[in-house]
Structure 1
Amino acid sequence: MSIQLNHTIVAARDKAASARFLAGLLGLEVGAPYGPFIPVTAANGVTLDFADSGTEPITPQHYAFLVSEDEFDAIFERIQRAGLTYYADPRHHQEGRINHNDGGRGAYFDDPDGHRLEILTRPYGSGG
């Protein structure tokens, strides 16, 4: 068996709301609760398992999603409709812009818990 990422746990103040936020923007489904988790599964089978952080502070993480050009258009439209601030760079210096790294398109935005989310149409380093 080759090594593959199977799942990651995403800390949230409200796991159900955070799972709905991500799934709604990406056009994915929220899965049935499993133990303390609410999963959102990407097309490659990797699951983001949302879990309530309780009294623990949330350390923002970065989650990047490789999407097709058509998916980028649809997701970016949902980002704009939701009134979310987006950026061309991970440090949030280029507000209201997207990037064109490696001949593709990319955008960064935050979820309600401060996690930095990214959509990109070409993997970094893939050339242009």
Structure 2
Amino acid sequence: MNEFEWLRQTRDLNQPHAPQRDLWAGIAAQLEPRAPATRAPRAWLPMTAAAAMILIGLFLGTALLRAPTSLYDGTHLASDHGQRWKPRDPRLAGAAIEFQAADSEIRLALQQAPDAAFLRRIQQRTHVQQWRLQRYTQRAP
């Protein structure tokens, strides 16, 4: 069978064709409006909503009570300022200088904007990185 025969067969399919049964009865049945289904009373819905609100309130309350506070407040930062990290390892001297420079720049920025939370977070991250490096040098031989 080649392409020309397929084309001839598809053209033959383009003839009017009568259905074997009457389709209008099925179409009319689908067009008729159906009676709406009765809904069961939902007495449990208000109780579920109240329980969900209580759980959300408890979750938010405990989350606010456990909210992390800054590790470094103003007095703690002032006491840390006098303590400079001076590593014995000469390879870490550059890191110590960078940490001190970053700390002084963040302190200057905090003097200009003392309520800037993002500066506090940056300062906290800097102190944590410096602390990790100090711990690393203590563990290293």
Give the TM-score taking structure 1 as reference length: 0.25
Tell which structure's C-alpha radius of gyration is larger: 2
Higher strand share: 1
Higher helix share: 2
